[in-house]
Chains A and B, each alone.
Chain A
Amino acid sequence: MTPKYEPFKFRYERFGGILQLERPNALIYVDRDYMRDLGYPDSPLWDEDGSVLSVLSAPTEVHLALTKKCSAGCRMCYMDSAPDGAGDGEMGREGVFAALARLAKMRVFHLALGGGESTELPWLFEVAHVARGLGMIPNLTTNGFHITGENAAEFAVFGQVNISIDGVGDRYATHRGINGFDRAFRALRALKRKSVRTGINCVVSRHNFEYLEEIFALGEDVGIQQLELLRYKPAGRAADIDAFLAHDLDDDQAWRFFPKVMDLAKEYDTPLAIDCSLTPYLYCHNPDQEKLEFYGVTGCHGGNMLCGVGADGAASACSFASSENRTVFNIQDWWGREDTFFAFRKWVDAAPQPCASCDFLKLCRGGCHVVSKHESGDIYAPDPGCPKVRRYNADQAAV
């Protein structure tokens, strides 16, 4: 089946609108005059004030776990997935289709499909084609174990497929406790041979930080479209096996992180993305704020740009946050309410020190609130991994 591409899509927002292109892929936020100039009539949303940083009419992307079943059994799985992980409470095929219909009605742009391991589902491609038919771009995160030369072409339905690889060769097992490097590498090659847009997701911790160059070199060798670096998160089995701070970057690495990865991105000509929880490691180097805002290099927008949906349909501000008893099946009823994901959306208003006096508060939004809550029990606490927070805490302890 030939994938149906939607080269252009738009939706209204209070500030104007968001326009989407798929090739090149970009979400372009424009003001009301721009929308009018393109010929769009005024929207009732324009009766209200709003900026690009205020709450949107819908998430731009939804992270959708299709199942909790995964046969890999990684030691640090943040979803706590297992071979027998699929329970009776999962949405299943029909439930996922119902969820897609609701998200499409809200004009969500992107889906990030995950699990569990969604390539173990016989109806994965059906989901992707239905999403395409509804005008959304389905993307996929996978361990790659089930991608072969025979089925690789089918993955062209996805906007992009990222394969999780935290280390090259034996270092693959650093976090996961299993070595699936050869299978993941074969999957990368198979996808590239079929011209599928492909990337690597790499979880960064103090244990693989010094070996990141090997991942960049791998990316260049294969010719990936993106290397996305992710922070180690304290969730699922990763929250239980060890103290989180034993995995998070140490003080020296935290300061070296951003200069190092930018140098590697230039040297290996690898398009680089970092996840929202790593942005404090960028902001501590005082980069150009206007440029960051214009290109959307921002911190936590959980519960606004992003909504997480579990395999049971429970909706949360992000995949690591609790669901607050909301489901995707009536998202239109609660998304716009004042109390929805209040701690995430309004975090900046209650920011403690040192965040409150940080020049980057508006962009950073306090680092990863899931990390804060895990470490201190308080979602409003500053992210203890932020290099500036570390220095502040050390100074306070020395007084």
Chain B
Amino acid sequence: MAIKKGRGKGKILQIRYGINPNSSSLGADVQVLIWGAAFASVATIFLSAMLRVFRRWRGNGHDA
């Protein structure tokens, strides 16, 4: 189900939402199973846009 982003090349392979404060085992956010396809797509596009904005903000090489 890898999702190709709107422009440019490359794919998002997996998105793991949420934080796992539980210090004994891995947590999986199952809220996403409730989401409809349209909402999930919008969320992915939103994240993609945020990545681009933050990347531009940090600048090439700054955080490498």
B29-63 interface (Cβ within 8 A of A): 29-34, 47, 50-52, 54-55, 57-58, 60, 63
A159 touches B21 (CB 8 A): yes
Nearest CB of A to B9, in Å: 4
B32 touches A297 (CB 8 A): yes
Nearest CB of A to B58, in Å: 6
Q: Looking at the complex, which one of A64, A113, A295 makes contact with B14 (CB distance below 8 Å)?
A: A295
Given contacts A32-B10, A266-B34, A298-B28, A39 and B55 within 8 Å (CB-CB): yes
Query: Which of B15, B22, B32 has the most C-beta atoms of chain A within 10 angstroms of its own C-beta?
Result: B22
Question: Please, which residue of chain B has its CB at the minimum distance from the CB of A298?
Answer: B28
Bound CA–CA A139/B20 (angstroms): 7
Q: Looking at the complex, which one of B3, B8, B22 makes contact with A162 (CB distance below 8 Å)?
A: B22
Q: Which residues of B contact A334 (CB under 8 A)?
A: none
Q: Looking at the complex, which one of A33, A61, A161, A197 makes contact with B20 (CB distance below 8 Å)?
A: A61
Q: Looking at the complex, which one of A29, A64, A305 makes contact with B15 (CB distance below 8 Å)?
A: A29
Bound CA–CA A113/B19 (angstroms): 12
Tell me, yes or no, whether A114 is within 8 Å of chain B by CB. yes
A63 touches B23 (CB 8 A): yes
Given contacts A262-B30, A275-B27, A296-B28, A112 and B22 within 8 Å (CB-CB): yes
B24 touches A8 (CB 8 A): no
Q: Which residues of B contact A65 (CB under 8 A)?
A: 23
Nearest CB of A to B63, in Å: 7
A161-213 interface (Cβ within 8 A of B): 161-162, 197, 199, 201
B19 touches A139 (CB 8 A): yes
Tell me, yes or no, whether A277 is within 8 Å of chain B by CB. yes
Nearest CB of A to B46, in Å: 8
Q: Which residues of B contact A26 (CB under 8 A)?
A: 15-18, 47
Nearest CB of B to A100, in Å: 15
Nearest CB of B to A60, in Å: 8
Q: Looking at the complex, which one of A64, A298, A319 makes contact with B25 (CB distance below 8 Å)?
A: A319
Bound CA–CA A192/B36 (angstroms): 29
Question: Please, which residue of chain B has its CB at the minimum distance from the CB of A41?
Answer: B64
Given contacts A114-B24, A318-B25, A320-B24, A31 and B17 within 8 Å (CB-CB): no
Bound CA–CA A7/B11 (angstroms): 21
Chain A, residues 267-291, CB within 8 Å of chain B (1/0): the string is: 0000111111101001000010011
Q: Which residues of A contact B57 (CB under 8 A)?
A: 8
Q: Looking at the complex, which one of B1, B2, B26 makes contact with A301 (CB distance below 8 Å)?
A: B26
Bound CA–CA A171/B1 (angstroms): 42
Bound CA–CA A287/B1 (angstroms): 14
Bound CA–CA A158/B1 (angstroms): 33
B5 touches A275 (CB 8 A): no
Nearest CB of A to B61, in Å: 8
A295 touches B23 (CB 8 A): no
User: Mind listing 10 A-B residue pairs with CB under 8 Å?
Assistant: A19-B51, A30-B10, A39-B55, A63-B24, A159-B21, A274-B28, A275-B24, A290-B1, A291-B32, A318-B26
Q: A197-B19, A273-B20, A273-B30 are in contact. List 7 more A-B contacts (CB 8 A).
A: A30-B13, A36-B9, A112-B22, A114-B22, A228-B22, A228-B27, A296-B15
Give me the 8 closest cross-chain CB pairs, A-B, nearest first: A114-B23, A34-B10, A139-B21, A33-B10, A296-B16, A8-B54, A290-B1, A29-B14
Question: Which of A's residues lie within 8 Å of B, judged by CB?
Answer: 7-10, 15-16, 19, 21, 24-41, 52, 60-61, 63-65, 78, 110, 112-115, 137, 139-141, 158-162, 197, 199, 201, 226, 228, 230-231, 233, 262, 265-266, 271-277, 279, 282, 287, 290-298, 300-302, 305-306, 318-320
